[in-house]
Structure 1
Amino acid sequence: MHRLGQLESAIMERMWSRPGPAAVRDILEDIQRNRDIAYMTVKTVMDTLHRKGLLDREPDGRAFRYRPTQTREQYAAAHMQEVLAGGSDRTATLLHFLEQIPADEVAQLRAVLDRAEQDKTQASK
């Protein structure tokens, strides 16, 4: 998985926020509310995101309509997995992570882990 650049992140955030597929022009118009940017720049980055496997596309006349291949949460989880794999000691990495998050998020994590364990137990029956 590649880390996203600034414009890639801006485009992906907009794609994840949309209810359906989007053309380059749709994303361009949204980005242009905050900054001046050329159509070809947005098109090139969206094509790059497609090559990286983050966007799927389908023909729409002479252009394409794009959609994310995964949710924002799936992307974040894959990124977290990559970070964990990059450390030499997963346990130490996880402990440092837990030291940095607020207590209420630790409680949420504990609840999610409990639910995942129950799901695995039920699936194995």
Structure 2
Amino acid sequence: MSETSPVQRRPAGELEASVLAALWAAGEPLSPAEVQRALGGRLARTTVTTILSRLHDKGAVSRSRAGRGFTYSPIQDSAGLTARRMRSELDKQDDRGTALARFVSQLTSEDEQLLRTLLEAAGDAPEGPSAAPRPGPGAGP
């Protein structure tokens, strides 16, 4: 009887991140077969198609009909996707204040200063459809 090593699963999101990286690098819409090739053929085409479908369901990629299949394009760049994920996680919290406080408490001093600078700049920006209302001191939820 031969010994087999346990199958190691990839960390959650690693395959999606690899597929998105391939799409960003291409700079043009790709079919699942093209994504598979861009990833070095390590994944089955059905796996790539499943990942692309899940990314589409999550709103991370758009797809366009191409013959009998689809081509896929990322909706946002890497920074935009990270921001969207952060917002999505924050929206799941009942106590947003505590979640934000814990996030801020884990920032490096450089990131904290950068966040302060960005918040100050956002406060100077003209209000528009994308500008979120900023509650005043003591404002409740």
Q: Which of the five TM-score ranges fits, normalised by the shorter chain?
A: 0.7 to 0.9
Q: Is 1:116 aligned with 2:136?
A: no
- Matched residue, 1:57: 63
- Matched residue, 1:91: 97
| AA at the equivalent of 1:8 | E
Flag the structure with larger Rg. 2
| Count of residue pairs brought into register by the alignment | 118
Superposition TM-score, scaled by structure 2 size: 0.69
- Matched residue, 1:25: 33
- Relative distance call for 1:85 and 1:65 in structure 2 (3 A) is closer
- Matched residue, 1:81: 87
- The answer for unaligned runs of 5 or more in structure 1 is none
Structure with the higher fraction of residues in helix conformation: 1
Counterpart CA distance in 2 for 1:85 and 1:23 is 32
Counterpart CA distance in 1 for 2:97 and 2:19 is 34
Counterpart CA distance in 2 for 1:122 and 1:12 is 30
Counterpart CA distance in 2 for 1:68 and 1:86 is 24
- Which of structures 1 and 2 has the larger relative contact order (alpha carbons within 8 angstroms, sep 6+)? 1
Superposition TM-score, scaled by structure 1 size: 0.76
- The answer for unaligned runs of 5 or more in structure 2 is 1-11, 130-141
Q: For residue 22 of structure 1, report the CA deviation from its aligned partner.
A: 1.5
Aligned partner of 1:43 among 33, 44, 49 = 49
Secondary structure of the residue aligned to 2:59 is coil
RMSD: 2.5
- Relative distance call for 1:95 and 1:59 in structure 2 (3 A) is same
